[in-house]
Amino acid sequence: MNFKEKTIVSGSLNRIRRSPRKMRLVVDIIRNKEIKNALNILKYSKKHNISISLRKLLLSLLSNCKKKYIEDDFDQKLFYIKEIRVNQGRTLKRLRPVPQGRGHRIRKRSSNVLITLVERKYM
């Protein structure tokens, strides 16, 4: 089946207080999926805190797409996630006191997510 791809919307979410390594576990599951399937996967994911952030971002992208391209034939089923990347964001450095007057460094990592949605048009 031949189809033509047209990049529609891309969006990002920065400084999510989750480590990139944990975010990538969820992101790898929804990569190259249709929007409807991805939203269902995120809804029932066991990584609840991470999936909430990604689900909000996907719903926001769909809403922006509807506003940007006001069309009567807008169909959510034609959209799929072409690209989704998780990069490391800012790291907060904290100290935890340990015996004998020392301190161990605690790194609180954050991540940045970039999503590109594509509309698939069948010919």
pLDDT in tens, 48-81: 999 999 999 999 998 888 887 666 566 677 788 9
| Span between the terminal Cα atoms of the chain, in Å | 8
pLDDT in tens, 12-33: 999 999 999 999 999 999 999 9
pTM strictly above 0.75? yes
Give domain limits for the chain: 3-122
The residue among 111, 54, 108, 107 whose CA lies nearest residue 88 is 111
Give the CATH number of domain 3-122; options: 3.30.2130.30, 3.40.800.10, 3.90.470.10, 3.40.50.920: 3.90.470.10
Helix (H) or strand (E) holding 81: strand 79-98
